[in-house]
A = this chain, B = another copy of it.
């Protein structure tokens, strides 16, 4: 049975009661490190948003449009308690209320802009998009203790994709592509990946794909970051949620540990992947990679982050290329193969969540 993606211009499944993206979700808006002394403009789920950190350190998100003459607030400046427009100087606080109109005493009653719910947690800035403007968050934003536990060191980046978000899901849920796309970094022998033991399970809005590749040759990134002896037993554990994925991978010297033991040793790479739609045809990919250094922590981290960045650039080329070709050919049948199980589960979940609640 085939499961279609909702791909604008290709196979648009939108009907009257469908939204383009799952709503009532926390999405990743930014890495905490992106918000220093400048406002940040970012379109998220079709909303042009300005994110900024005020003098007290609190992060706010407003509609990125001055209510006077429509200039983006993001081209203005941070000013103590708020953000000041760069055209005629109107000043807004973090709730979107205009608190100063230079040259006049009375602030017009309508002088305010829309604000969004944000939460900053574990180095990530989350933003809530409800079913409508009135729908408040039903829960706190997700935790991600890998960033804050102290057991790992980590770095990350933000990539912009000219491709719909669901193609990124597909890519992350099917790591068999490593052998063809990422030969230079985390890939290694294609046969190893295509023939991995794979188990796919779904639970609620979550899909888990676990792959074990025993007695395999460690790929370049692994060898560069960890003193493996020869062959390794390698795992890939992918957890999909509607707005983000975790991909925890690693390896131990072959035959030395139980791969199902969560306390196994060896080399670990814990990837966090925020996949936040920008529009129906573009997305933000906000990622971090954490690792557990044995020696030379800074050197190892730099290697892991640099090679991960390189890997994700390779994926970006493939996925944007794929989307352009889908647009060119339109809605034609796709033939599924064995590695697509996880991606197909994720598609069903997104499809279900795109159904607007009554």
Residues of A within 8 A of B (CB): 48, 64-65, 67-72, 75, 84-90, 101-104, 108, 110-111, 170, 174, 176-177, 179-181, 190-191, 193-195, 318, 321-322, 325-326, 328-329, 332-339
Q: Select A110's contact among B89, B179, B190, B335, beta carbons within 8 Å.
A: B335
CA distance A102 to B181 in the complex (A): 14
Q: Which 8 A-B pairs have the closest CB atoms?
A: A103-B194, A102-B194, A67-B335, A104-B338, A89-B180, A70-B326, A71-B322, A72-B325
Q: Are B325 and A48 in contact (CB under 8 A)?
A: yes
Q: Are A332 and B190 in contact (CB under 8 A)?
A: no
Q: Known contacts A194-B103, A325-B48; is A334 also within 8 Å of B70 by CB?
A: yes
Q: Are A70 and B180 in contact (CB under 8 A)?
A: no
Q: Which residues of B contact A67 (CB under 8 A)?
A: 333-335
Q: Which residues of B contact A334 (CB under 8 A)?
A: 67-70
A175 to chain B, nearest CB (A): 11
What copy number does this chain have within its complex?
3
Q: Are A86 and B322 in contact (CB under 8 A)?
A: no
Q: Are B322 and A177 in contact (CB under 8 A)?
A: no
Q: Are A170 and B69 in contact (CB under 8 A)?
A: yes
Q: Which residues of B contact A68 (CB under 8 A)?
A: 334-337
Instruction: Enumerate 15 A-B pairs (CB-CB under 8 Å) in ascending A order.
Output: A68-B335, A69-B334, A70-B326, A70-B329, A71-B322, A71-B325, A75-B318, A86-B180, A86-B318, A87-B180, A88-B194, A102-B179, A102-B194, A103-B194, A108-B336
Report which residue of A170, A322, A333 has the largest number of chain B beta carbons within 10 angstroms of its beta carbon. A322
Q: Which residues of B contact A325 (CB under 8 A)?
A: 48, 64-65, 70-72
Report which residue of A103, A191, A322, A332 has the largest number of chain B beta carbons within 10 angstroms of its beta carbon. A103
CA distance A305 to B321 in the complex (A): 35
Closest to A41 in B: B325
A139 to chain B, nearest CB (A): 30
Q: A65-B329, A86-B181, A103-B337 are in contact. List 14 more A-B contacts (CB 8 A).
A: A67-B335, A68-B336, A69-B334, A70-B322, A70-B329, A71-B321, A88-B174, A88-B176, A88-B177, A102-B176, A102-B179, A103-B194, A103-B339, A108-B336
